[in-house]
Amino acid sequence: MLPYYCSHRLESGYESIEFALIVVHGNNRNSEWNFETGIQAAAGYVKLDVTIVIAPHFQTIDDDPEPDEAYWSSSGWKKGHLSKSDELRTERVSSYAAMDRIVEILGDRDLFPQLEVIVVAGHSAGGQYTHRYSAGNRAEQGMSGIRVRYVVSNPSTYLYLGPERAVPGLLSVFELPDATDCSNYNDWHYGLNNLNTYMSQLSMEEIRNQLVSRDVIIFVGSADTGSSMLDVSCGAMMQGQHRYYRGVTLINYMNTFYPGNNHTLKVLPGVGHSSRTMFTSHLGLTILFGP
């Protein structure tokens, strides 16, 4: 139901594969570009011969999907919503459940007996997808001897685990905001109210525990301060003025309310909103493929 680019056929399995890199596309859904970026990154770290690179394509109706392929709304795939139904498609699937299936195949020891690490990486809208997926997926729980890492690069917004937000103009002071004109600021996918079908299969406490404990790297460019394709809804603006501030603020939030969390902030100096520059930089390669 889900088209994808892949350096090796998933269903075939490969004994020599030690590393899996799943690259989630951004708002333009250019999965081929993201696949090429993943290949360049793996080659740049001299890991291409032992790495499987996968780039899923979350289609919308504009992609003219085949009758047996799922498609989502332009905003729904980022949030883990169910795919659309029509006269040809009666089965609906969450975009997160589709990723679960990829991860589960990679975790099959009969197919990939030497696999050690799975990295799910996304930039911009792909970063939004990756951060929420890290909080809600159940696929990681089924991994045996395989580490899973989530690289969240320059997203518009993040998932907050509580209703507090940073005081305007400050990046590390948090309180309940005035939500008079923004009553939905803590709804999914900004917060944990009104969860969608996929996420509601877990309790809020289970979601919190997963996001706090999982290996999540927030990877932002210090020059990603523009407004192009930036979410400027009231709920998003409560997270900060621009993407760079929002990344720093999210880490401050996690450290304030969830000390000991497994989130890490990495900043690439002087870089703006460019996925390939982020992921193929020296720092990006270390984040994706390092220990």
The pLDDT score that the predictor gives to residue 88 is: 82
Domain range for 77: 4-289
The pLDDT score that the predictor gives to residue 138 is: 93
Relative to beta strand 174-175, strand 215-221 is unpaired
Give the span between the Cα atoms of 94 and 191, in whole angstroms. 18
**3-class DSSP assignment, residue 234:** helix
Q: What is the pTM of this model?
A: 0.97
Q: Please report which helix (H) or strand (E) contains residue 120, including its range.
A: strand 117-123
Q: How many domains does the chain have?
A: 1
Give the span between the Cα atoms of 2 and 30, in whole angstroms. 14
Give the span between the Cα atoms of 167 and 49, in whole angstroms. 48
The pLDDT score that the predictor gives to residue 247 is: 98
Per-residue pLDDT band at 151 (split at 50, 70, 90) = very high
The pLDDT score that the predictor gives to residue 142 is: 84
The pLDDT score that the predictor gives to residue 57 is: 98
Give the span between the Cα atoms of 57 and 50, in whole angstroms. 23
Within 10 Å of residue 262's Cβ, how many Cβ atoms? Answer: 16
Average pLDDT in the 1-14 region? 94
Give the span between the Cα atoms of 125 and 45, in whole angstroms. 25
The pLDDT score that the predictor gives to residue 291 is: 85
Q: Please report which helix (H) or strand (E) contains residue 19, including its range.
A: strand 19-24
Give the span between the Cα atoms of 221 and 100, in whole angstroms. 29
Strands of 147-153's sheet, edge to edge?
Answer: 4-6, 51-56, 19-24, 117-123, 147-153, 215-221, 263-268
Give the span between the Cα atoms of 146 and 187, in whole angstroms. 33
List the one residue out of 240, 258, 259, 246 whose CA is nearest residue 218. 246
| pLDDT tens readout for residues 181-195 | 999 999 999 999 999
| pLDDT tens readout for residues 85-144 | 988 888 899 999 999 999 999 999 999 999 999 999 999 999 999 999 999 999 998 898
Residue 145 DSSP symbol = S
**3-class DSSP assignment, residue 5:** strand
Look-up: residue for tokens 């803590």? Answer: 186
The CATH number of whichever domain residue 223 belongs to comes to 3.40.50.1820
The pLDDT score that the predictor gives to residue 87 is: 83
Phi/psi at 83 (nearest 5 deg)? -65, 165
| pLDDT tens readout for residues 218-275 | 999 999 999 999 999 999 999 999 999 999 999 999 999 999 999 999 999 999 999 9
List of residues 6+ apart from 46 with CB closer than 8 A: none
**3-class DSSP assignment, residue 236:** helix
The strand ranges marked E within 154-277 are 165-166, 174-175, 215-221, 263-268
57 prior amide bond cis, ω within 30: no
List the one residue out of 102, 73, 89, 103 whose CA is nearest residue 196. 73
CB-CB contact of 229 with 124 (8 Å) = yes
Tokens matching residue 108: 């099959």
CB-CB contact of 47 with 16 (8 Å) = no
**What single-letter amino acid sits at 249?**
T
